[in-house]
Chain A
Amino acid sequence: MTAKKSFPKPSELPVPAGAEGWEKIYPYYLVFQDKLKDAEDAKFWFCDSQHWPTVFKPFETIGGEFAVKCLGQYNARHLMIPNANGIEFRVHLGYLYMSPIPVPEDQIAARVPEFQARVSHYFQNWDTLLEQWKTKVRGTIDEMETLEFKPLPDMVPMDDIVSGTAKDGSEVLLENYDRLIQLAYQNWQYHFEFLNLGYIAYLDFFNFCKEVFPDIPDQSIATMVQGVDMELFRPDDELKALATLAVELGLQSHFATVPVNGADAEATLASIGAAAGGQTWLDRWAEAQDPWFNFTVGNGFYGHDKYWNEHLDIPLGYIADYIRRLDEGQTIMRPTEELIAEKDRIVEEYRELLDGDQLAAFDAKRQLAATAYPYVENHNFYIEHWTMGVFWRKVRELSRTLHGYGFWEHENDLLYLNRNEVRDALFDLVTGWGVGAPTGPIGPVYWPEVIAERKAIVDALKTARPAPALNTPPASITEPFTRMLWGITTEQVESWLGAGEEGTEGVLKGMAASPGVVEGVARVIMDSDDLAQIQQDEILVAPVTAPSWGPVFGKIKATVTDIGGMMSHAAIVCREYALPAVTGTGSASTSIVTGQRLRVDGTKGTVTILDGPNAAPQVTGPGAHSHQHPHTAPEAEDAGEPAHV
Chain B
Amino acid sequence: MTLNPYIQAFDDGREPALETLGGKGASLVSMTAAGMPVPPGFVVTTSSFDAFVREAGIAEHIHSLLEGLDADDVAEVDRVSAAIREDLCRRPVPEAARQAVVEAYAGLMEACGGEVPVAVRSSATAEDLPDASFAGQQDTYLWLNGREAVTEHIRKCWASLYTSRAIIYRLKNSIPNEGLSMAVVVQKMVNARVAGVAITMNPANGDRSKLTIDASWGVGEMVVSGQVTPDNILLDKITLQVVSEHVGDKHAELVPDPATQSLVEREVPAERAGVRCLTDTELTAVAQMAKRAEKHYKCPQDIEWALDADLPDGENLLLLQSRPETVHSNGKGTAGQAPAAPAAPAAPGGFDLSSITSSLTGAGK
Residues of A within 8 A of B (CB): 81-84, 108-109, 112, 115-116, 119-120, 123-124, 200-201, 203-204, 207-208, 211-217, 219-220, 223, 345-346, 349-350, 353-358, 361, 364-365, 367-368, 478, 480, 512, 515, 517, 601, 603-604, 619-624, 626-627
Contacts and interface: CB of A to CB of B under 8 A. Distances in A.
B270 to A, nearest CB: 11
Contacts of B348: 120, 124
A626 B245 contact: yes
B2 interface: no
Given A109-B361, A622-B278, A214 B353 contact: no
Contacts of A200: 356, 360
Given A115-B360, A123-B347, A364-B352, 14 more contacts: A83-B361, A108-B362, A112-B357, A116-B353, A207-B364, A213-B335, A214-B202, A353-B335, A353-B336, A358-B335, A480-B360, A603-B241, A621-B272, A621-B277
A462 B234 CA distance: 44
B279 interface: yes
Nearest to B291: A349
Contact of A368 (B207, B239, B334, B351): B351
Contacts of B129: none
A204 B355 contact: yes
B239 to A, nearest CB: 5
Nearest to A624: B275
A213 to B, nearest CB: 4
Given A82-B361, A622-B277, A346 B352 contact: no
Given A220-B238, A622-B278, A82 B357 contact: yes
Contacts of A108: 361-362
B304 to A, nearest CB: 20
Interface in B250-285: 271-272, 275-280, 282-283
Interface centre among B231, B244, B350 (most CB of A within 10 A): B350
Interface stretch (B45-53, B64-72, B338-346): B338-346
Contacts of A624: 275-276
Contacts of A358: 335-339
A257 B277 CA distance: 51
A217 B237 CA distance: 10
Contact of B335 (A83, A123, A354, A480): A354
A533 to B, nearest CB: 30
Contact of B353 (A120, A367, A619): A120
B42 to A, nearest CB: 30
B350 A367 contact: yes
Contacts of A213: 207, 209-210, 334-335
A353 B209 contact: yes
A622 B208 CA distance: 29
A364 B346 contact: yes
B339 to A, nearest CB: 7
Nearest to B280: A517
A622 B352 contact: no
A217 B235 CA distance: 9
Given A120-B349, A357-B343, A603 B335 contact: no
B62 interface: no
B271 A219 contact: no
Contact of B359 (A204, A353, A515, A517): A204
21 contacts: A112-B357, A115-B360, A120-B347, A123-B349, A201-B356, A207-B355, A207-B364, A213-B335, A217-B243, A219-B239, A219-B241, A353-B335, A358-B338, A361-B339, A361-B343, A364-B351, A480-B360, A622-B282, A623-B280, A626-B275, A627-B275
B236 interface: yes
B278 A217 contact: no
B278 A361 contact: no
A112 B361 contact: yes
Contacts of B361: 82-83, 108-109, 112
A610 to B, nearest CB: 15
B230 to A, nearest CB: 12
A623 B238 contact: no
A619 B280 CA distance: 15
Given A109-B361, A124-B348, A119 B336 contact: no
A115 B357 contact: yes
Nearest to B279: A622
Contact of B241 (A83, A220, A627): A220
Given A358-B336, A367-B350, A217 B244 contact: no
B133 interface: no
A603 B356 contact: no
A115 B279 CA distance: 49
Contacts of A211: 339-340
A36 to B, nearest CB: 28
B338 A357 contact: yes
Contacts of A480: 359-360
Interface of B: 202, 205, 207-210, 231, 234, 236-239, 241-245, 247, 271-272, 275-280, 282-283, 334-340, 343, 346-353, 355-357, 359-362, 364-365
Interface centre among B231, B238, B280, B336 (most CB of A within 10 A): B238
B238 A604 contact: no
Given A478-B362, A626-B276, A364 B239 contact: no
Contact of B360 (A84, A356, A364): A84
Contacts of A349: 237-238
Contacts of B334: 212-214
Contacts of A223: 239
Contact of A204 (B234, B243, B356): B356
A552 B211 CA distance: 36
A355 B339 CA distance: 12
Contacts of A364: 346, 350-352
B364 A346 contact: no
Contacts of B238: 220, 345-346, 349-350
Interface centre among A216, A365, A620 (most CB of B within 10 A): A216
B241 A626 contact: no
Contact of A623 (B277, B349, B355): B277
B280 A215 contact: no
B205 A214 contact: yes
Contact of B362 (A83, A346, A361, A626): A83
B236 to A, nearest CB: 5
Contacts of B335: 212-213, 353-354, 358
B282 to A, nearest CB: 7
Contacts of B360: 81-84, 115, 200, 203, 480
Contacts of A84: 360
Given A200-B356, A217-B241, A368 B350 contact: yes
A353 B208 contact: yes
Nearest to A212: B335
B312 to A, nearest CB: 15
A365 B349 contact: no
B54 to A, nearest CB: 51
Interface centre among A201, A358, A517 (most CB of B within 10 A): A358
A207 B355 CA distance: 9
A355 B336 contact: yes
Nearest to B233: A626
Contacts of B349: 120, 123-124, 368
Nearest to B362: A83
A109 B236 CA distance: 37
A192 B142 CA distance: 71
B364 A365 contact: no
